[in-house]
Amino acid sequence: MKDLNNVSLIGRLTRDAEVKYTSANYPVTSFGLAVNRSVKKGDKWQDEASFFDVTVFGKTGERLQQYLKKGKQIAVIGELKQERWQQDGQNRSKVIIVANDLYLLGNKSDAQKETFEDNEDQIPF
């Protein structure tokens, strides 16, 4: 049986998307995503937030940067990736979400449609 690594989240951006470029001038877009869930504490329900770092590789993130603003609700479909590094002689790691698909959510006045020329970086919304 083949391993499976797939995650789907709907949440709100915790910061504006930021685009950086590799040494080969390849765009890498990153942003934070907060996802709420309701948990019962005693007799009351309370929202509990989880925070995730999301990365989008390629031109898609670069094109969508103008729409990926703090507070915007989006859906992300992607996979988990563990990043590892050393800091001050200590091994460190964190798990990020690498987005394969993004959907801008909200009312029609918030939604923007854009056509992508290359199928490789096409993200529907």
Architecture of domain 7-39+47-116 in this structure = Beta Barrel (2.40)
Give the residues across from 34 on adjacent strands: 12, 51
Give the contacts of 73 (CB within 8 A, at least 6 positions apart). 10, 11, 12, 105, 106
Please state the rounded mean pLDDT for residues 31-54. 93
Task: Domain ranges for the chain, please list them.
Answer: 7-39+47-116
Q: What is the pTM of this model?
A: 0.78
Q: What is the pLDDT of residue 124?
A: 43
> Residue 27 above 70 pLDDT?
yes
Please state the rounded mean pLDDT for residues 106-125. 44
